[in-house]
Amino acid sequence: MTLIHYNGSGLAALDYSKNGYLCSYTELDDIASYACKIKIYNYGNQTKTVQIKPIPKEGRLDPGEIIDIKYVLLTIPPRSEMTYSISFESNATDTGGFGIGRDGGVSFKQDGKERRVLWY
């Protein structure tokens, strides 16, 4: 991947590791909180300031249920491989409770463009 994206620019230079991905969530009242550890790669030669959010695996949601996780702004150094601990919030679901999971993806957003990366 490094050779393919070595001089990459934009969102195409970003990726995450499925093995370095872990999100736990808790719901209280109308807010769901996500605590995630995500290993992110920037294969490009420029620092990237992007918005990021996890994408829960759809199989964990009730049919038709939408989770609106809020993006968090993140600055990623060039040619880096770092694990970030990031907190996210969203609307609560009807299922409630808490959980933990390694399945899911990541959405990167910059300048109105979005790139969804799913490795499950």
Domains of the chain plus CATH, in order, are 2-112 (2.60.40)
Dump pLDDT digits (tens) for 63-113. Answer: 556 678 999 999 999 999 999 999 999 877 665 667 788 888 999 999 999
φ, ψ for residue 95 (rounded to 5)? -80, -30
Task: From 35, 20, 19, select the one nearest 98 (Cα to Cα).
Answer: 35
d(CA 55, CA 68): 10
pLDDT, residue 47, reads 93
Query: CB of 56 within 8 A of CB of 67?
Result: yes
Range with top average pLDDT, 4-8, 19-23, 35-39: 35-39
pTM, entire model: 0.83
Query: CB of 22 within 8 A of CB of 102?
Result: yes
The chain-wide mean pLDDT, for the chain, equals 84
Overall average pLDDT of the 46-72 stretch? 79
Side-chain-facing half-sphere of 21: CA atoms under 13 Å:
22
Residue 2 clears pLDDT 70, i.e. is over it: no
More confident residue, 120 or 78: 78
